[in-house]
Amino acid sequence: MSKICKICGKKPVAGRTIVRRGLAKKKGGVGQKITGITPRRFLPNLKNVRALVNGVPMRIRVCVKCLKAGKVIKAV
């Protein structure tokens, strides 16, 4: 199952976590040094919802932002 919202198309985005060491210059130190960079993924907040798609109830994956905005018509 893909991690993509069926309404807005939101999907995972790549990013990095940066680990720093040392005291900042404005706090009296010699500056922060980067000691490690590791890749990470920002995943959308998806929920499985029974919704009406073209008048037919289907189970789709939708992000919570679309649910809160009322872009999804839930099936009864």
Q: What are phi and psi of 21, to 5 degrees?
A: -140, 145
What contacts 7, CB < 8 A, 6 or more positions away? 62, 63, 66, 71, 72
- Global pTM value: 0.75
Domain total of the chain: 1
Task: Flag whether 5 is in a domain.
Answer: no
Residue 62 domain-assigned (yes or no): yes
pLDDT tens-digit readout, 42-63: 999 999 999 999 999 999 999 9
Nearest to 47 by CA among 68, 63, 66, 71: 63
Asked if residue 1 has pLDDT above 80, the reply is no
Instruction: Identify the CATH number of the domain in which residue 62 sits.
Output: 2.20.150.30
Q: Residue 20's pLDDT band (boundaries 50, 70, 90)? A: very high
Residue 42 inside a domain? The answer is yes
> For residue 3, is it within any domain?
no
In a domain, 25, yes or no: yes
What is the predicted pLDDT for the residue at 56? 94
Query: Cβ(24)–Cβ(31) under 8 Å?
Result: yes
Is residue 22 assigned to a domain?
yes
Q: What is the domain range of residue 19? A: 13-69
Do the domain assignments include residue 7?
Answer: no
